[in-house]
Amino acid sequence: MTRSHALFVKLRKRTWIRGSTLRTPRSWLLVYIKTVALAASGPDHTFYPLLTSSVSVAIIGAGPAGLMAAQVLSEAGLQVDLFDAMPSVGRKFLLAGRGGLNLTHSEAYDSFVSRFGARQSNIEPWLREFDAEAVRSWAHGLGVETFVGTSGRVFPKEMKAAPLLRSWLQRLRHPGPGGVPVRFHMRHRLVGWAPAAQGESGGIFSFQTPAGEQRVQTSIAILALGGASWPRLGSDGAWVPWFCANGVGVAPLTPANSGFDVATTAARETEKTSSEGTAADEAGWSAYFRERFAGQPLKSVAITVRGDDQTSVFERRGEFVVTETGVEGSLIYAASSLLRGALADKGVATLYLDLLPSHTYAQVLSAVQAPRDGQSLANHLRRRLRLEGVKTALLNELLPRESMRDHELLARAIKSLPIVLAVPRPIEEAISTAGGVRFESLDEFLQISHAPGVFCAGEMLDWEAPTGGYLLTACMASGVRAARGVLRLGTTPA
């Protein structure tokens, strides 16, 4: 007997496969086809065909927020059915760990919660229940040791996301004493939501599946549907119109932790039309700069963002990357909320780049004014200030030629080089999104105020944070918060 046939026979004997949908040979054939697909995908993609009309607790979205909510409720003895549109869970979680999974950050609690800006007061209650130290303890409980990097960021010792995710899924499938295994329903794409009738809780959720559309009724649902970044991994923002139609307040989804395109630079202004016919009025870097320096990192720099009165509202050291169209990277992401706000209000945003934050203006001016002894300006800056490569090229790209010859203007630019930004990169390229379900539509445990039994968690909520472990920690904490809200309702264990 093949593995797929054995699994099919086992599933057919399950008492929870029943109802009018299985009365025809074709219906059983569809189940069999899905079972074969499961068998091919291996044991890490356990699939329980949901052909009944109702479940006790549905969690929709198998990212960090949904998985954490599932763990809390499973360990509390509740039967949880977890749905996701993708063939396997945690796709974005795995992507985040591709270059080293940044779980959380080790900085002091007060500094940590301040990273959430205007939404600090909303998110702090989650973090009081599940903070950065709780994330490390959780990982340790799964057999994954962590360490603090030189930047204060916390990583698994193996650096990878896959081993942690495998251990997590093993815990969900095989909880300890008193726990109930989570049932996974992959390839279930949510396509609609109808809230329950007045006086009832939950609602009816419609899914598109390989076997056609299915409707699932539940009295308790936690929705962790993500924002709109990386749509190929499942977060496409398709839920927004359904929520708006059901009277839930939703702030427009916008890119957060994203790069920006630069406005036309001085070098681009003077660049002649290329032989290929490139329009001379295209915005962005010059062809020379783009071709030679796109992908180059700007290390050991600092940026400043100024308010309307030209006083500093953001200053930070770090690094970022020059792209073909502009800039991106951790230092840019940290200021992205302010830069987006300026673009929305004024149509333009400016960041001021300090190429030598360890030097004072006086030191830079003295070096620039020193005799050049017949050397070129580029060699002079390299010899006196160790300023070279993409940093020197950026000065030539952004400054008029006369400024490069003026000692004071050049020194001032080295310490505060204006980079004018034109537009954020598309939301599909963003690491995360801002906007989402407004907190005014939720109670303190993230339950939709006018839809009892329906909770929201994760990136679909109206908040944002910079990279550095803050996003992942808060997503997981929101899952814990929503799950504890469910437990407060007195839901009967399985």
Which CATH number goes with the domain that contains 249? 3.50.50.60
Residue-wise pLDDT for 206-249, tens only, equals 999 998 899 999 999 999 999 998 888 888 999 999 999 999 99
Are 239 and 347 contained in the same domain? no
Are 193 and 239 contained in the same domain? yes
Domain assignment present for residue 242? The answer is yes
Are 281 and 164 contained in the same domain? no
Are 158 and 134 contained in the same domain? yes
Domain assignment present for residue 181? The answer is yes
What pLDDT was estimated at residue 494? 59
Boundary residue ending a domain (394, 424, 454): 424
Boundary residue ending a domain (387, 404, 424): 424
Are 300 and 404 contained in the same domain? yes
Residue-wise pLDDT for 309-339, tens only, equals 899 999 999 999 999 999 999 999 999 999 9
Are 68 and 189 contained in the same domain? yes
Cα(348)–Cα(263) distance, integer angstroms: 9
pLDDT band at 491 (very low <50, low <70, confident <90, very high): low
Q: What is the pTM of this model?
A: 0.82
Are 76 and 48 contained in the same domain? yes
Between 123 and 12, the more confident residue is: 123
Total domains, the chain: 2
Are 420 and 439 contained in the same domain? no
Are 70 and 158 contained in the same domain? yes
Cα(180)–Cα(80) distance, integer angstroms: 8
Residue-wise pLDDT for 384-408, tens only, equals 999 999 999 999 999 998 888 899 9
Are 238 and 268 contained in the same domain? no
Are 419 and 460 contained in the same domain? no
Are 290 and 410 contained in the same domain? yes
459: containing domain = 42-255+433-488
